[in-house]
């Protein structure tokens, strides 16, 4: 479970000041452990939480290596917590994202690397994003 001291450390490392709102948003991610859209987060936050503030917090978290974008095939932008190797300068994500067709949650599978992509001559590689669909561990075990 995410505690305030963990959150403080994460924000400190990212060079961001600890505010109640930042801490609240971060806590949602550390508790849920799945990729979340802005709408998902709004559902969990107190109703008075300002949507523009949330939007700004998500962008600043992304910019400072706390969150990374997870592309969903439905076109919704989601975010997930970064590993320790991410920083303001660089995100390092060579992992697969998994979408469960039963619970529709998207998770980072940090231990599953995206295989090397060989491109034809003349093409320059920048980044590969991979979304794998199936049934997650939770759902397959509760069947
Ligand atoms: Zn990252
Ligand atoms: Zn599932
Ligand atoms: Zn991820």
Length of the chain: 143
Give the mean pLDDT of 74-95: 86
CA of 106 to the centre of ligand 2 (A): 8
CA of 34 to the centre of ligand 3 (A): 9
Domain that holds residue 54: 4-141
CA distance 45 to 37: 13
CA of 136 to the centre of ligand 2 (A): 4
Task: Specify the pLDDT at position 73.
Answer: 87
Q: Which ligand is nearest to the CA of 104?
A: 2
Global confidence as pTM:
0.85
| Of residues 93 and 68, more confidently modeled | 68
Residue 21 has pLDDT above 70, yes or no: yes
Total tally of structural domains belonging to the chain: 1
| Residues, beta carbon < 5 Å, ion ligand 1 | 68, 82, 86, 91
The CATH number assigned to the domain holding 40 equals 1.10.10.10
CA distance 84 to 76: 25
Cβ burial, residue 139 (10 Å; 0-12/13-18/19+): middle
List the one residue out of 142, 143, 139 whose CA is nearest residue 100: 139
Task: Specify the pLDDT at position 17.
Answer: 92
């Amino acid at each position: 479970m995410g505690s305030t001291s963990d959150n403080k450390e994460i924000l400190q490392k990212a060079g961001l000041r600890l505010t109640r709102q930042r801490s609240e948003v971060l806590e949602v991610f550390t508790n849920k452990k799945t990729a979340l859209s802005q709408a998902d987060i709004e559902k969990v936050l107190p109703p008075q939480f300002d949507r523009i503030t949330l939007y700004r917090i998500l962008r600043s978290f992304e910019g400072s290596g706390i969150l990374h974008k997870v592309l969903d095939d439905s076109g919704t932008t989601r975010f997930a917590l970064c590993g320790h190797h991410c920083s303001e300068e660089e995100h390092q994500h060579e992992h697969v994202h998994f979408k469960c067709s039963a619970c529709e949650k998207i998770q980072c599978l940090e231990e599953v690397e995206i295989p090397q992509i060989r491109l034809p001559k003349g093409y320059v590689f920048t980044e590969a994003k991979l979304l794998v669909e199936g049934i997650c561990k939770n759902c397959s075990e509760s069947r």
